[in-house]
Chains A and B, each alone.
Chain A
Amino acid sequence: MTELRAEARIALAIAHKDAIAELRGRHAMVSTLFFAAVVLLLFGFALGPDAARLAAAAPGLLWLAIVFAGILAVNRLHLLETDDDAFEQLALYPVARRAIYAGKALGGFAVMLLLGAVVLGAVGILFAVDIGSAWGPLLATVVLGAIGIAAVGTFYAGLTVRLRAREVMLPLLMLPVLAPLLLGAVKATAAALAGDPFGELGAWLQLLVAFDVIMVVAGAATYGYLLED
């Protein structure tokens, strides 16, 4: 039991370090949020100006913006490590590999949560969608979605951190794996916004939970191999 507590402490130390560096220097957070806002704006131009159509498409647009911005955010968190070969130094510390994964994923989760909340707000405004009424299920969906994207993103960012053509390979490898999450999140969001007419919301949230659990376990179990050289 103490070993798990030690690993948790290490994961928190890594996430804390990422948070300080992120807030203080990188401004990745701000740029990612603006990127998501711009993507939403473009969706408006692409599908607008018919308000009804936009409102109908809102759940899909919301999650597309989150996923695309999420790729940038997770990538930024790992760039933080490669400035001065810090990633290699991190791997040389005598700490459990899954603790490193947990630390990086935790940082990713925090960024994704903030991103999700902001994009949700923007969608509410831009596409005139009443998010107030169903804020509970929507929050749950955003939290579960954030966990999934952070879990998968941290794995693939670690896999491609020293890879050639990394900018293309990260989305190319990551997006197909996120398909079930995108699908579940959009359906859950749509159900929540419509007041869950068919009672499907519970099922979609369960799908998201299953995806998150599987991907976190898979990521933690294999992240160590990505640090090998």
Chain B
Amino acid sequence: MTDAGFVIAAYAVILGGLGLYTLLLWRRLRAAPGNDDEAR
């Protein structure tokens, strides 16, 4: 794998992860704070 490959992999995971986490958070917030095991 070329250097560029690793760079892409790094950015993809970090930015993708941030996006995914934001989405998850947003969905959990938007859903009325129903029964979520986090709060059990």
Direct contact of A and B (CB under 8 A): no
